[in-house]
Structure 1
Amino acid sequence: MNLIFFDDENRNNLQPFTLTRTVADIRVGILTIREKWENHLSLSNSFSLTQDYLSQKYPFFAAADNLFIAGSLLPNKTILEAITQLQDSEAITYNGEIVAARLNEEGAKNFPNITPKRTFKVENCEKIEAIWNIFQKNEQEIKADFKLLVRNRKSAPLSPTNLLIGNSENLFIEKGAKIEGSTLNCEAGPIYVGSNAEIMEGTLIRGAFALLEGAQTKLGCKIYGATTIGPHCKVGGELNNVVLFGYSNKAHDGFLGNSVIGEWCNLGADTNSSNLKNNYDFIKIFDFATRKVRVTNTQFCGLFMGDHSKCGINSMFNSGTVVGVACNLFGTNYMRNFIESFSYGGPQHGYEVNNLKKVLETAQLVYQRRGIELTTIDKQIIEHLFSLSHPTLVSEKK
């Protein structure tokens, strides 16, 4: 069976993160949504039906037998049972929208313009429908992914220099991970430590928590669940219910709570983000897609930062701040609550448009430090997003 993820109606609600990736490549829990489904269905790879400008990085391929799954759909027992029973030209709907379908090659090429032979409704579905859902659902997803990944496997041993609180069955350490002189409390949720990850001395961790491959906590770091530190990230200071997708750093002191940070981001020393209003009211955020203020219906909501964005030392973010892609921010006092992609500056001297050439040069240097190539496709995605954010500047250059 050929697995294809499609960007459903929630794609716009999940910007700025879906500006640079498909919905299925959002990380929530230990794994991305794509990785969850591949593991559950025992498939080694999958394809995508997404925006044209992302299709080279996330290609589409139709085979004789195809299973389409909405990128925002999280696996659970109900939906897994329904999907595994699908036959050709059958679909599953949730709230009137198709969330899964099994199609032959012709049907796959016509998707989503299809008329299934049979349709089944499901009621018990879990989806990522807003950017704050990523941290809200992180605890349940860490627990679900933990069960999936450690089943019938044995953890590497924990060094005796550490203090473990709770059942050792809720701790799993992959080979190559280093943990010394730290406190790990897995009473409230499991703790997963990926291969070649490092938990430095003095780190205090309460589950649910995931530290993925090559990631690192700095000396004396304090982490509350439910927090996910993605591959090759470095974190320090205090974190509470945060998701870092990968290759991003918050390596110094400062507080970050109820927040989501994309890839290739850097938060300077003593960066702080509020996650609660003084009047305890529901937090409002600026919606990327509608360009309107949206109520989150939650009291706790921090910073959302798109890929390739960075902020200098002592940066301050108010609750519910949304930062776009490839921003370079600096200065004291609070940043704006919404910062457009490719912004340069801060509260003291104002914001202007970041230089595209400098953005690409910085991305090149950051990738090189990690031993990764910034491909032509990656550059084209950044260039396309710049043209969307600042079409006047692009037309003037032409």
Structure 2
Amino acid sequence: MNYILFDGPSRNNLLPFTFTRPVAEIRVGILTIREKWEKYLGFTTTTLTEDYLSDKFPMVEMDFNVMINASFLPNKELVAMVINLKENQAVFKDEDVIAFYTKDTQDEVDFNTYEALEYESDIIKIDHTWDIFSKNALAIQEDFELLTHDRKSQTIPNSVNTINAQNIFIENGAKLEFATLNASSGPIYIGKNAEVMEGSIVRGPFALCDNATLKLASKIYGPTTVGPHSKVGGEVNNSVIFGYSNKGHDGFLGNSVIGEWCNLGADTNNSNLKNNYAEVRLWNYNTQGFAKTGLQFCGLMMGDHSKCGINTMFNTGTVVGVSANIFGSGFPRNFVPSFSWGGNSGFTTYLTKKAFEVAKVVMQRRDIEFSDIDKAILEHVFEDTKQWRKKDD
């Protein structure tokens, strides 16, 4: 069977992260959504997404296809329903389609002709940016069980202090000494070739993905995920870092989501609670205004390739787009459009030529090419987000 993950109606709610990736490439828990589905299905998947992303994330369509809404995270019960779908059957959760079996081209699907199968159990759906961190505890727990089932952890070094050690799993090649790991409130997963430096204190649920690093004396409160090849120091609470990003120094990051290829300068801090304890509102790209989150704690949402200088301060509920560069004293506004350059004193347009020069150097340091496809995606984002940058930039 051919399985295709499609973005679905949640795509725009997940901006700025979906400016540069399909919904399936969002990391929540230990794995990306695609990796979860492929692990459960035992098959590779392809993607139905925005046209400008399709060169990097192509779709392979065959005579018979099962389309899966990537905003839903898989579990055993759901996957069993998806695998057993017959022609013209669809799985629904309330009014949302989760998956359907089709022979038609995707712009011709009429669900009135489908047999509707209702999925009645609880399920994790990533519908908004803040769901990525607020549902991360459940996602880490499910991924931990998926990845460690019938497997044995590497031996925990004697110098590591542990609480509830049976809830800790260490992959091959991981390095850790003289750290404290407390898995009493959730599992702790240390990925392949990851490193936990001395003096670090971790309270689960926590995932340190492959080749990622916790720097000296880091303080981590779960549920937190540090994605592959990322480096994290200082204090972090209930946050998700997708991968290839650095928060290498002291400073606080809480209730936040950081994309790929980001860098937070030394002593960068974000607020995750308003002084009046009121509900946090976040910028909404659809309505071009600030939307209620229902959350009292909500910090920073930062899109791919964005950077901030030392001592940067972010207000509660700040959204930073793609390829922004923020620096200077004071608080920048709580919506920073993509390709913005500046800070509290004002922003100008961060020209693509300069942004691409930085992206090329940053990615080369990790032996990854900044390809023509990557360039084309960012050029599209630059044009698509022009409306939110000041006219006189």
Shorter chain as denominator, the TM-score bin is over 0.9
* Cα distance in 2 for residues equivalent to 1:392 and 1:77: 42
Residues 93 and 120 in structure 2, CA contact (< 8 A), matched pair in contact too? yes
Distance 1:339 1:392, change over 3 A: closer
Which of residues 305, 309, 312 in structure 2 aligns to 1:312? 309
Distance in 2, Cα, partners of 1:92 & 1:284: 33
User: What's the offset of the Cα at 1:290?
Assistant: 1.8
The Cα offsets for residues 60-112 of structure 1, whole Å up to 9 and x where unpaired, read as: 111233211101011134422322321112111223232201123xx245454
Q: Which residue of 2 aligns with 1:396?
A: none
Partner of 1:235: 232
8 Å CA contact retained: 2:302, 2:321: yes
For the Cα contact (< 8 Å) 1:222–1:237, is it kept in 2? yes
Paired with 2:316 and 2:283, the residues of 1 have a C-alpha distance of 11
Q: CA distance change for structure 1 residues 392 and 173 in 2, over 3 Å: closer, same or farther?
A: closer
Q: TM-score, normalised by structure 1?
A: 0.95
Q: 1:390 aligns with which of 370, 383, 386?
A: 386
Question: Where do residues 234-253 of structure 1 align in structure 2 (5 Å cutoff)?
Answer: 234-253=231-250
Q: Please tell me whether the aligned partners of residues 76 and 126 of structure 1 are also in contact (alpha carbons under 8 angstroms).
A: no
74-83 vs 334-343, which moves further? 74-83
CA shift, 1:387, in A, is 1.1
The alpha-carbon deviation at position 116 of structure 1 amounts to: 4.1
Q: Which position in structure 1 is the counterpart of 2:258?
A: 261
Aligned match of 2:2: 2
Distance across 1 between alignment mates of 2:246 and 2:130: 20
**Counterpart AA for 2:87:** D
Q: How does 1:14-25 map to 2 (within 5 A)?
A: 14-25=14-25
- Does the residue aligned with 1:351 lie in a helix, a strand or coil? strand
Specify the code of the residue in structure 2 equivalent to 1:79.
L
Residue aligning to 1:146: 144
SS in 2 for 1:126: coil
* Matched-pair contact (CA < 8 Å) for 1:303–1:319: yes
Shift of 1:292: 1.3
1:341 corresponds to 2:338: yes
**Compared CA separation, residues 298 and 391, structure 1 to 2 (3 A):** closer
1:98 corresponds in structure 2 to 97
- Distance in 1 (CA, whole Å) between partners of 2:108 and 2:259 is 29
Alignment deviations for residues 89-146 of structure 1 (CA, whole Å, 9 cap, x no partner): 2111223232201123xx2454545654412123434211110000011000100000
8 Å contact kept, 2:8–2:69: yes
**Counterpart Cα distance in 2 of 1:217 and 1:336:** 30
**Contact 1:135–1:243, Cα closer than 8 Å, also in 2:** yes
Q: Does the 8 A contact of 1:89 with 1:117 survive in 2? A: yes
Amino acid paired to 1:249:
N
Q: 1:380 aligns with which of 376, 381, 392?
A: 376
Question: Which structure 1 segments of 5+ residues have no match?
Answer: 394-398
Unaligned runs of 5+ in 2: none
Q: In 2, Cα distance between the equivalents of 1:19 and 1:46? A: 20
Q: Which amino acid aligns with 1:336?
A: R
* Cα distance in 1 between the residues matched to 2:365 and 2:194: 17
In the other structure, the counterpart of 1:158 is 156
Q: Aligned-residue CA RMSD in angstroms?
A: 1.6
Distance 1:320 1:204 in 2: 27
Q: Is the 8 A contact 2:124 2:135 kept in 1?
A: no
Q: 8 Å contact 1:66–1:108 — kept in the other structure?
A: no
Asked whether the equivalents of residues 270 and 314 of structure 1 are also in contact (C-alpha less than 8 Å), the reply is: yes
Runs of 4+ in 1 over 6 A off after TM superposition: none
**Preserved CA contact (<8 Å) 1:211 1:230:** yes
Aligned to 1:215: 212
The answer as to whether partners of 1:283 and 1:299 remain within 8 angstroms in 2 is yes
Structure 1 CA distance for aligned equivalents of residues 367 and 344 of structure 2? 34
Q: Could you tell me which of 177, 180, 189 is aligned with 2:186?
A: 189
Q: Is the 8 A contact 1:25 1:33 kept in 2?
A: yes
Measure, in 2, the Cα distance between the counterparts of 1:228 and 1:82.
29
| CA 1:376–1:114: 2 relative to 1, 3 Å | farther
Superposed CA offset, 1:297-337 (max 9, x none): 11000000000000000000011000000001001111111
Are residue 353 (structure 1) and residue 352 (structure 2) matched?
no
For residues 183 and 112 of structure 1, the distance between their equivalents in structure 2, rounded to whole angstroms, comes to 53
Structure 2 vs 1, CA of residues 100 and 287 (structure 1 numbering), >3 Å: closer, same or farther?
Answer: same
Shift of 1:338: 0.4
CA contact (8 A) 1:62 1:109 kept: no
Structure 2 residue identity aligned to 1:222: K
Identical aligned residues as a percent = 52
State the distance in 1 between where 2:316 and 2:328 align: 18
Match of 2:86 in 1: 87
Q: In the alignment, residue 67 of structure 1 is paired with which amino acid?
A: V
Assess if the C-alpha contact under 8 Å between 1:27 and 1:33 holds in 2. Answer: yes
The answer to whether 1:365 aligns with 2:361 is yes
- 1:277-311 per-residue CA deviation (whole Å, 9 max, x = no partner) reads 11111111111222011011110000000000000
